[in-house]
Amino acid sequence: MNMQTTPLVARRSPGPDGEKIITLAALAVGGQGGGVLTNWIVDVAEANGYRAQSTSVAGVAQRTGATIYYIEMCRDTGRAPVFALSPAQGDVDVLIASELMEGGRAILRGFVTPGRTTLIASTHRIAAVSEKIAPGDGRADGEEVIRAMGIAADRVIAFDMETLAKEAGSVISSSLLGGLAGSGALPFPKESFEAVIRASGRGVEASLGAFRAAYDCATGATPPPAPPVDVAPPTAMRVPAALDREWRALVARLRALPAEVQGMTQRGLEKVVDYQDLAYGAQYLDMVESLARQDAAPFAMTEAAAKYCARALCYDDILRVADLKTRASRFNRVRGEVVVGEDQLLMLTEYFHPRFEEFCTTLPRALGGWLQASPRAERLYARYFDKGRRVRTDRLSGFALLWAISALRPMRRRLLRHGSEMAHVDQWFAAVQEVALQDRAMAVELLANYRLIKGYSDTHARGLTKFARVMGALPMLRGRADGADWMRRLRTAALADVEGTALEGAIATVESFAGARA
Amino acid sequence: MAERSFAKEVQKLRKGEGETFTGEGILAITKALLENGVGYVGGYQGSPISHLMDVLADAQDILGELGVHFEASASEATATAMLAASVHYPIRGAVTYKSVVGTNVASDALSNLASGGVTGGALIIVGEDYGEGSSIMQERTYAFAMKSQVWMLDPRPNVPSIVKAVGDGFALSEATNTPVMLQVGIRSCHVHGHFTASDNIRPAMTVSDALETPRRKLDRIVLPPATYLHEAEKLTKRKPAAEAFIVEQGLNERFGAASGKVGIILQGGSYNTVMRALNRLGLADIYGDTELDILCLNCVYPLVPGQILDFCAGKDAVLIVEEGHPNYIEQQIGHLLYQSGQRVKLEGKGKLPMGGEYTGQVMVEGLAAFFEEHAPDLLPVAKVAANEPQVDIPDLSQVLPMRPPGFCTGCPERPIFAATKLVEEELGEHHISSDIGCHLFSIMPPFDIGATTMGYGLGPASAAAFHNETKGGRRSISFIGDGGFWHNGLTSSIGNAVFNKSDNVIVIVDNFYSAATGGQDILSSRATNPTKQTQNSITEAVRGMGVKWVRQIDRTYDVTRVRDTLKEALTTEVEGPKVIVASSECMLNKQRRVKPQIAKATKEGKRTVRPRFGVDEDVCTGDHACMRLSGCPSLSVKDTGDPLRDDPVAAIDQSCVGCGNCGEVADAAVLCPSFYQAEVVSNPAPAERRKAERRNRIISWLQTRRDARRVHLA
């Protein structure tokens, strides 16, 4: 695609009285209220003695696709100007993008021109389907788009207008209008924008609130809302008096670790203890400490160990799910998320579908193993028990059921699942320890490979397979200067798609240059 | 109709003489029909003309006062056949549909109508869905006008011109005994503007009057030998009459100065784009004033040879601006010029692209190329030199995710395709035929389901060739919507499958509306409609057609059931087509209907329940398997902020309508236990509240007891 501005200087010329046509395009995601915004802008223009014309392609507007609205306006001199019906490359004065990537799309399509276009964009994200379905993190890089905005636009007004609107109890069309008014790109006073909102008659106060907040951010009167930083929620461990001494002993061990890794290790320790008990926490610290002894500043390997050992130890089983689902903190979080008022009640249904595997592995080792080997038991289970279960945790029966399962926690070490999980963890960790002796960078990657194991049932099984495939490349990559880098690439490939196509391709590449060593 | 009120728009139809009408192009056309004494209106909904149908459907009282009959036709063929009322009777009739697809369906009736000709004005308003944002294949309607010898108007895309074209169309039709097509582009239909209204006129003869005094003229009926006369009449009488009318009434417009050495002939519909390009090239002002000689064809068929030759006379070069392919107008003009011996240089395709929408940029480049070659002195110096600094803008094409349209939040069709994907995971991939409608979004990720789409109601028909010689071998699956089913699928697809003993599987996606076109009622709609007979069962129709294996699913969100039924259909030994009717109401329309009701009930203090889904973020492991079976806008990814985690987790936002798909899919696909359904009860009964409080006390006691014995995160 030719991304350069056209060599032809094809700017619009003004009318005899100096009146100019102003062109404005709005790129929105279907369902964002682009139609409302368009009507408001037309009304503002007409109220200020301008002629205005709007067009849109509304056919799929409600159906989540990218949609364009287009407005032209011109001071009324008694004659009807010839307005164009769609935005043209290099000919847009004001571009409104109601989402970050739509702003990027406007640039890609040539609607944002240096020295010409005022770009008003909300920087929040609405992930597209393609970004959501990657097994890892498939989200697009917003930084690149923001950089491009600075280059392509004459002026950029970009901040999170969605958050502003939500905080005001309104929708993004109000804050976009505020951004537009505040940008000064249209020769209309703030009051005329407000008058149009008032005349629209629905949710006026909330709309005005969002409008004014965005207006002030656009003029620079107030700073735009800070981007949501990825701050970890503060943790608070509740320690019963009887366990306090033992807990303090673990904390003392934590404090003895290098300062660089204490933050991560604290998170890990809290998670592991919360998952099982204090002894489990001690086991976790054993693992972290063993690698710390072989590590040196900046202790990247120890930090990776702190992170991934915690994850490896806290595998997701029925006990864990039952525990999490019956916590008081969880009930409070749900009430906040779905907005339950003081005078309202909450009914809560959990969706479970325990398969034969989960059933067997939640039994004591011997019994579970025996059942797992019995085709007859499997058939029986399939016929009578293998179905989705809806559990009402706001009711006593449902809650008590899950609470009782969570109460099996002290027995967890005796269950079949624990045995297989620990065997798997031990094997992985032994490999890490051995590699750490010669190649710490590779050890970091091996630790991070535990990221591949996630999900439940089939997804979990697929994760295990991919984990084994990636770890299986170790003999080929050991001892190579670029070994760790390739190990990281294999893991990234494994997270790119479900089928493992990218991973197989990456492994084939590795085999092509390092296969002989295997 | 459509669970959506058009009352505000309907009021605009009442505007009288001298009042200013404000609204979209398609609504202006609707008003213009009434101002021109139309006697009956029909059509088939579809972008961009759905609005005409929707508004008239809600305007029964106005139509009643004027004696105008309106109906929502079963198909475009039905609509065009309806114009038969103007064959023998001097009644003006208008029908509308999306083109080129609608015209394809209508073409049998169109040929018959055009052959015998009309007495009353017959207007076909075709909404041309061409260019960016189009949902259909890119073809021109022009060919139909040529082959059937019906006239075609393509007015300048501003509301007054479009309104004038309605009146011109009726008059032209009556003056030439020929149906007239009024072509309006997608943006013309949605253009917002004003015009000065006139009073609505009651038709001189209503369809009721016609019924009371039947007439017939043998020579107007399409049967030999009259058909031979019709052909001759088209060429010797009707076309010359049309050419005379076009010139006398000044349908085509001339702009600029006639003395120019170069000129442009353009379709009315592209006038604004051309004018903008000329303005950007310094050759016209913002009001369209220009020195350049321009012939604007508001009537694109037939062309008037005299007018064209007169325009070209004395010119060095003429550019034809004709969007779409083939370039019928350019060919005709080339032929005219050649025959006349004129030596003007004809330009068109070549300077402008062969196909594709003529956007602003395309037009600027095309016109500049034309002037540079044929009139370089016309272009201001500044416009020729590349004197503006070039800025290299980063190429974002690799960064930006595509954002194709998809299923709405809570769409009942989503679980059908989730179930299909699960069946394919189990039984392997199948050949899948798709149809036209919202369900066609299955083609896109995350479902990636469907191999072909051959037209409305033709999904199962397009699987007709797939006859498996191996008994018990793999079958094809085809999808068809309720809209397509009633449009012609019942016969073309279902009847055909029965008659030919097809062994394939057909899934009828029934969402209670013609949803993709705006939620219009159809035969099987569940709503009661005062002017329509609804609630006709698809299942019974299918049985009546002779299908033996029929399964009705009344809640598509039951993914397990849809999956098992589809599996059964693919494996049963029963012979003949296997038909599954999967029914649940379109969520977009349901929310429009139900949301205000619930809000009202809550306000009145009645007990109401608001369902929503959520994800327990500490149970979710961030593998996104749920999203690969959903694609719901309300289900997305978010960061947890937990440094122990790498991947974003699933999250459901406030827009969730609690359809249940997430939980059902998690269950059927055995995904994970992260999903919960929360139902918020407003105005609970006192007893219910007391019971909940008692429960909460016990639950709280159990929680405290457990926490007292362990170190845990708060």
How many whole angstroms separate alpha carbon A482 and alpha carbon B98? 60
pLDDT value at position B380?
82
- In chain A, whose CA is at the least distance from the CA of B558? A388
How many CA atoms lie less than 13 Å away from A167 in the CB half-sphere? 14
Average pLDDT over residues B572-581: 97
Who's near A361: CB < 8 A, 6+ residues apart?
Answer: A317, A368, A372, A415, A416, A417, A420
Residue A477's SS3 state is helix
Average pLDDT over residues A487-505: 94
Instruction: Please write the tens of the pLDDT for every residue from A357-394.
Output: 999 999 999 999 999 999 999 999 999 888 888 999 99
Residue B363's SS3 state is helix
How many whole angstroms separate alpha carbon B417 and alpha carbon A278? 47
B positions 619-658 inside 8 Å of A (CB):
619, 621-625, 627-628, 631, 633, 635-637, 639, 641-648, 654
Residues present in chain B in total: 714
Residue A294: inside a domain, yes or no? no
The set of long-range contacts for B699-705, using a CB threshold of 8 Å and a minimum separation of 24, is: B699/A331, B699/A396, B699/A399, B700/A328, B702/A326, B702/A399, B702/A400, B702/A403, B703/A326, B703/A327, B703/A328, B704/A328
A412 touching chain B per CB within 8 A = no
pLDDT value at position B550?
98
How many whole angstroms separate alpha carbon B130 and alpha carbon B103? 14
pLDDT value at position A227?
73
Counting residues of chain B whose pLDDT is more than 90, the rounded percentage is 89
B410 touching chain A per CB within 8 A = no
Residue A131: inside a domain, yes or no? yes
**Mutation for B interface: A337, A387, A409, most B CBs within 10 A:** A337
Average pLDDT across chain B, whole number: 95
Inter-chain residue contact A316 with B621, CB threshold 8 Å: yes
Burial class of B289 by CB neighbour count within 10 A (0 to 12, 13 to 18, 19+):
middle
Comparing A383 with B499, the larger pLDDT belongs to B499
ipTM higher than threshold 0.90? yes
pLDDT value at position A61?
44
Instruction: Please write the tens of the pLDDT for every residue from A439-463.
Output: 999 999 999 999 999 988 888 999 9
- Chain B residues in contact with A8 by the CB 8 A cut-off are 281, 364-365, 368, 383, 386
Work out the widest C-alpha separation in chain B, in whole angstroms. Answer: 104
- The CA–CA distances, whole Å, from B40 to A472, B90, B128, B562, B648 equal 75, 12, 22, 44, 58
B180-185 and B69-70: which strand pairing?
Answer: unpaired
- CB-based contact A257:A292 (threshold 8 Å): yes
A356 touching chain B per CB within 8 A = no
Average pLDDT across chain A, whole number: 92
B positions 547-576 inside 8 Å of A (CB):
560
- CB-based contact A114:A153 (threshold 8 Å): yes
Residue A78's SS3 state is coil
Inter-chain residue contact B361 with A451, CB threshold 8 Å: no
Question: Which domain does A126 fall in, by range?
Answer: 22-219
pLDDT value at position A4?
39
Distance between B67 CA and the closest CA of chain A, angstroms: 32
In what helix (H) or strand (E) does residue B194 lie, and over which residues does it extend?
strand B192-196
Who's near B358: CB < 8 A, 6+ residues apart?
Answer: B270, B273, B321, B323, B352, B366
Least confident of A107-111, A146-150, A511-515, B277-281: A511-515
B714 touching chain A per CB within 8 A = yes
How many folded domains does chain A comprise? Answer: 2
Instruction: Please write the tens of the pLDDT for every residue from B416-441.
Output: 999 999 999 999 999 999 999 999 99
Take residue A272 and report the two structure tokens written for it: 């592991």
Inter-chain residue contact B391 with A105, CB threshold 8 Å: no
- In chain B, whose CA is at the least distance from the CA of A103? B400
Instruction: Please write the tens of the pLDDT for every residue from B49-91.
Output: 998 999 999 998 999 999 999 999 999 999 999 999 999 999 9
Q: Residue A63 above 70 pLDDT?
A: no
Least confident of A274-278, B174-178, B709-713: B709-713
**Mutation for B interface: A100, A456, A495, most B CBs within 10 A:** A456
How many whole angstroms separate alpha carbon B123 and alpha carbon B169? 7
Is the backbone of residue A169 left (phi > 0), alpha (psi -120 to 50) or beta? left
In what helix (H) or strand (E) does residue A347 lie, and over which residues does it extend?
strand A345-352
Residue A342: inside a domain, yes or no? no
B positions 345-364 inside 8 Å of A (CB):
359-361, 363-364
Domain final residue pick, A188, A219, A250: A219
Q: Residue B381 above 80 pLDDT?
A: no
Q: At what angle do helices B686-707 and A396-406 cross, to 10 degrees?
A: 10
Who's near B54: CB < 8 A, 6+ residues apart?
Answer: B1, B2, B4, B6, B45, B518, B520
Q: At what angle do helices A396-406 and A318-325 cross, to 10 degrees?
A: 130
pLDDT value at position A231?
64
Residue A411: inside a domain, yes or no? no
Closest CB to A108: pick one of B400, B560, B628.
B400
A94-97 and A21-29: which strand pairing?
Answer: parallel
Could you give phi then psi for residue A488, rounded to 5 degrees?
A: -65, -40
Written in H, E and C, the secondary structure of B501-564 is CCCCEEEEEECCCECCCCCECCCCCCCCECCECCCCCHHHHHHHCCCCEEEEECCCCCHHHHHH
pLDDT value at position B405?
83
- CB-based contact A148:B394 (threshold 8 Å): yes
Distance between B347 CA and the closest CA of chain A, angstroms: 21
Closest CB to A338: pick one of B188, B383, B680.
B680
Q: Residue A113 above 50 pLDDT?
A: yes
pLDDT value at position B506?
98
How many whole angstroms separate alpha carbon A161 and alpha carbon A172? 6
Inter-chain residue contact A399 with B277, CB threshold 8 Å: no
Residue A77: inside a domain, yes or no? yes
Inter-chain residue contact A347 with B609, CB threshold 8 Å: yes
A positions 187-216 inside 8 Å of B (CB):
none
Residue A4: inside a domain, yes or no? no
Comparing B379 with B432, the larger pLDDT belongs to B432
Average pLDDT over residues B27-43: 97
Average pLDDT over residues A197-201: 92
Instruction: Please write the tens of the pLDDT for every residue from A82-99.
Output: 999 999 999 999 999 999
Q: Residue B682 above 60 pLDDT?
A: yes
pTM attached to this predicted model: 0.95
DSSP B349: B
CATH number for position A56? 3.40.920.10
- CB-based contact B166:B32 (threshold 8 Å): yes
- CB-based contact B524:B486 (threshold 8 Å): yes
Please name the residue that has the structure tokens 């913002």. Answer: B286
Domain final residue pick, A157, A191, A219: A219
Inter-chain residue contact B675 with A351, CB threshold 8 Å: yes
Domain final residue pick, A186, A219, A252: A219
B positions 146-205 inside 8 Å of A (CB):
157-158, 185-188, 190-193
Residue A517's SS3 state is helix
pLDDT value at position B101?
96
Residue A292: pLDDT band by 50, 70, 90 thresholds? very high
pLDDT value at position B379?
86
Could you give phi then psi for residue B416, rounded to 5 degrees?
A: -65, -40
Instruction: Please write the tens of the pLDDT for every residue from B103-147.
Output: 999 999 999 999 999 999 999 999 999 988 788 999 999 999 999
- Cα angle: A429, vertex A433, A435; to 5 degrees: 115
Residue A2: pLDDT band by 50, 70, 90 thresholds? very low
B608-615 and B675-682: which strand pairing?
Answer: antiparallel
Residue A473: inside a domain, yes or no? yes
Residue A204: inside a domain, yes or no? yes
What are the structural domains of chain B?
18-248 (3.40.50.970), 258-387 (3.40.50.920), 414-585 (3.40.50.970), 603-708 (3.30.70)
Count interface pairs A-B at CB distance under 8 A.
432
Please confirm whether the linkage preceding A7 is cis (ω < 30° from 0): no
- The CA–CA distances, whole Å, from B383 to A19, A116, B261 equal 21, 17, 20
A241 touching chain B per CB within 8 A = no
pLDDT value at position B389?
67
Who's near A31: CB < 8 A, 6+ residues apart?
Answer: A61, A62, A63, A64, B408, B409, B633
Q: At what angle do helices A278-292 and A244-255 cross, to 10 degrees?
A: 10
